[in-house]
Structure 1
Amino acid sequence: MNRPARLAVGVVSTGRVGAVLGAALARAGHSVVAASGVSRESVQRAEDLLPGVPLLAPDDVVRAADLVLLALPDDALPGMVRGLAAADALRPGQIVVHTCGAHGVDVLAPAQEHGALPLALHPVMTFTGRAEDLERLATCCFGVTAVDSDEAAWSVGEALVMEMGAEPVRISDSDRPLYHTALAHGANHLVTLVAEAADLLRGTGVDNPDRMLGPLLSAALDNALRHGDRALTGPVARGDAGTVRAHLRVLAENAPDMLPAYRALAERTAERAEQSGLLRPDLAPDVFAALRPGTGEDRR
């Protein structure tokens, strides 16, 4: 695989992702020559992770760089790329990388029109913006996207990811929306699910729900990644419709705002359990009847 030459890196901006990836590229031997950061938190991250790197306006950062790292929110990225192109900050031969999961390389078309090499390198992990994130890169993957027909560009993207210590995984431009949906569905909704379980436990008087949930959820996640649907346990997979109805009643009484999410997830769980053969065919109708509004959730 081609190894990129030592590059002058410009980071726009020093949020949680940008500061960490800039530091990872510096650790790999590249030189971070400029960065942009406005908020107090971004300035502090730059001081901690990119010491001595000057903070400049985004267009000045880009002009100074061979490798431009655009670590911006999804919705802010298109406007930034158009603005940099309009300011003539981009030039032929630059590598322009963005870190958004939802976008492919099409969003970098204005940079490509200026002769830059467009890449999308999305780290599949959550960031704190602190030094420990650098070590976590060794355990994560990056979704790598380049122009489909440009094999050299794919190789450059993969080499950059490997230099940062992570594992590159090719994602075609057309597949980026589905790829990002999968990650957001798993990670973001998992946080909501865990937080709601902790809230319910606090309602029973449990002072440290994290201590109770930690081993259970860690084991459940490990089993799910190893075994898929065969890891399902609990009343839905067992066909215990009476217990499911009891859950719905207690949520209606104590946490009605959580009831729709519980019902939707339990029904999807029942469908997957039935398809995988865990939920017995003779018990499945009662479980679905308990979960669907107006069809039995209040039966005793």
Structure 2
Amino acid sequence: MRTLTVMGAGRLGCSLARLAHLSGHYQVLDVVGRRPEPLRRAREFIGAGREATDLGQLRAADFYLLSVPDGEIASCANDLAAAGVAPAGCVVFHASGVGEAALLAPLAERGVLTASLHPAFSFADPARAVADFAGTLCALEGDEDACTRLEALALALGGRPFRLAPGGKAAYHAGLSVASNFLVALTAMAQRLTARAGVPDELAQPLLGGLMRQTLENALALGPRDALTGPIARGDVGTVERHLAALGDAELAAAYRALGRQTVALAGDRLPDAVRLRLLALLY
């Protein structure tokens, strides 16, 4: 049975450690934290492991998960390397969405295999995360041998591992942010406009929600280009002019223009050259 030590008693670390324990293929050795009470709660949730507040107390493990905030990963790796408790040939990994395995360089210099494993999942509630994790896509990058071993770990947790291209972590995370965070921002933008049009609050959600769900389903099923509809895709310059006149807000207008230019590019050769130029003149 492989062994796992978790550094950090937060929600992600607790969730992954609990899943590893439940898999029956991994033994949680140590759970590391700074404060005794959160550390005790973490160990109780995981259902295994020994509480540790001193890196010198750690036992040699096959895997070490650095489940700490992104800004602390490099310093945590430095501390672990200085403690000399992670043996050469073991795997140390973090779960940052944007950070790469290079954050663990001090450990790699000591012969440790380093990588990152990012589950595309929300760990807001660890109990719910453990119950719902099955099928979660897990992005891997880093040392080849480390990634191979982490593929097995991700599968044991119930995840679906896949590899990122070298140097692709920031673009990967930006893509997730666009798909998630910007979708929320677009919802707020659309609600501001429908409110300005006099749409009652109780109708705004069904009005926009139904259209957004249908559009997203079409984009995923057909591909963005084939799913694209609307005035820009039709080359309706007059409607775009009326939209811009109705916005009445510099920030909304800037967002509309930026997204409009992306829509023109997506429409591609569906637009005659003359129409494309007229649209772009409005959108710059």
Q: TM-score range by the shorter chain?
A: 0.7 to 0.9
1:159 Cα offset (Å)? 0.9
* SS of structure 1 residue aligned to 2:206: helix
Unaligned runs of 5+ in 1: 1-5, 293-300
Aligned residue runs from structure 1 range 282-297, under 5 A: 282-292=274-284
Which residue of 203, 216, 219 maps to 2:214? 219
* 1:258 aligns to 2:237 (yes or no): no
Partner of 1:188: 181
Q: Using a 3 Å threshold, how does the CA distance of structure 1 residues 201 and 186 change in structure 2: closer, same or farther?
A: same
* 1:170 aligns to 2:163 (yes or no): yes
Structure 2: how far apart are the matches of 1:161 and 1:14?
19
1:67 Cα offset (Å)? 1.8
Q: Using a 3 Å threshold, how does the CA distance of structure 1 residues 139 and 212 change in structure 2: closer, same or farther?
A: farther
Partner of 1:75: 71
* 1:278 aligns to 2:274 (yes or no): no
* 1:134 aligns to 2:130 (yes or no): yes
* 1:269 aligns to 2:263 (yes or no): yes
Q: Using a 3 Å threshold, how does the CA distance of structure 1 residues 280 and 256 change in structure 2: closer, same or farther?
A: same
CA offset digits 1:197-240 (Å, max 9, x no partner): 23444554323644333332222222222322111112221222
Q: Using a 3 Å threshold, how does the CA distance of structure 1 residues 214 and 14 change in structure 2: closer, same or farther?
A: farther
Q: Using a 3 Å threshold, how does the CA distance of structure 1 residues 109 and 189 change in structure 2: closer, same or farther?
A: same
Contact 2:63/2:92, CA 8 A, preserved across alignment: yes
Partner of 2:150: 157
1:89 Cα offset (Å)? 3.6
Q: Cα RMSD over matched residues?
A: 3.0
1:61 Cα offset (Å)? 7.5
Q: Using a 3 Å threshold, how does the CA distance of structure 1 residues 256 and 143 change in structure 2: closer, same or farther?
A: same
CA offset digits 1:163-222 (Å, max 9, x no partner): 111211112433333333333333332232223323444554323644333332222222
Q: Using a 3 Å threshold, how does the CA distance of structure 1 residues 238 and 72 change in structure 2: closer, same or farther?
A: farther
**TM-score, scaled to structure 2:** 0.83
CA offset digits 1:100-122 (Å, max 9, x no partner): 13233222221223332212111
* SS of structure 2 residue aligned to 1:139: coil
What amino acid sits opposite 1:271 in the alignment? A
CA offset digits 1:46-67 (Å, max 9, x no partner): 3774246555337268546432
Unaligned runs of 5+ in 2: none
Structure 1: how far apart are the matches of 2:131 and 2:207?
28
Structure 2: how far apart are the matches of 1:284 and 1:41?
62
Which residue of 107, 111, 114 maps to 1:115? 111
**TM-score, scaled to structure 1:** 0.79
Aligned residues: 280
1:270 Cα offset (Å)? 1.2
